[in-house]
């Protein structure tokens, strides 16, 4: 993943089918700090039944950040906006050390 021209190390798990998006991170006890889950399409996420807090990054159709929400605790729900087409979920605390900000474009690389 490339943010502001800088490579961000880590693995991005991709959930594109309905079943994959519904499961998301449920059943996991944690997510490594250098991993993320991309849900597409997705305009809102919930943490019902989750065992850990997450940071959420909402993306538009061009993978530009529309909104970020840090430290979403279990049993919560957060929404993007009308432009939101996808979300990235990280372990809570990732946004504290990230250069990511609304308006930034993300490039996913193999």
Residue 100 maps to a domain: no
Q: How far apart are the C-alpha atoms of 52 and 46, rounded to whole Å? A: 12
Q: DSSP 3-state helix, strand, coil percentages of the chain (rounded to 5)?
A: 10, 40, 50
Domain of residue 30, residue span: 16-76+85-91
Residue 9 maps to a domain: no
Give me the number of domains the chain comprises: 1
For the residues 58-74, what does the mean pLDDT come to? 96
For the residues 76-100, what does the mean pLDDT come to? 93
User: How far from chain centre, in Å, is Cα 79?
Assistant: 12
Q: What is the pLDDT of residues 2-38, one digit of tens each?
A: 666 555 667 888 988 988 888 888 888 889 988 899 9
pLDDT for res 96: 92
What does pTM read for this prediction?
Answer: 0.89
Q: Which candidate, 100, 101, 102, places its Cα nearest to that of 8?
A: 100
Residue 69 maps to a domain: yes
Residue 30 maps to a domain: yes
């Amino acid at each position: 993943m490339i943010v502001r021209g800088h490579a961000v190390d880590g693995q991005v798990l991709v959930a594109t089918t309905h079943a994959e998006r519904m499961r998301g991170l449920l059943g996991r006890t944690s997510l490594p700090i250098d991993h993320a889950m991309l849900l597409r399409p997705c305009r809102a996420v919930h943490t019902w039944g989750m065992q850990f807090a997450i940071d959420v990054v909402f993306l538009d159709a061009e993978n530009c950040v529309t909104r970020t929400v840090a430290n979403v605790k279990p049993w919560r729900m957060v929404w993007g906006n009308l432009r939101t087409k996808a979300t990235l979920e990280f372990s809570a605390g990732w946004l504290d050390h990230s250069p990511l900000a609304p308006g930034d474009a993300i490039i996913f690389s193999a």
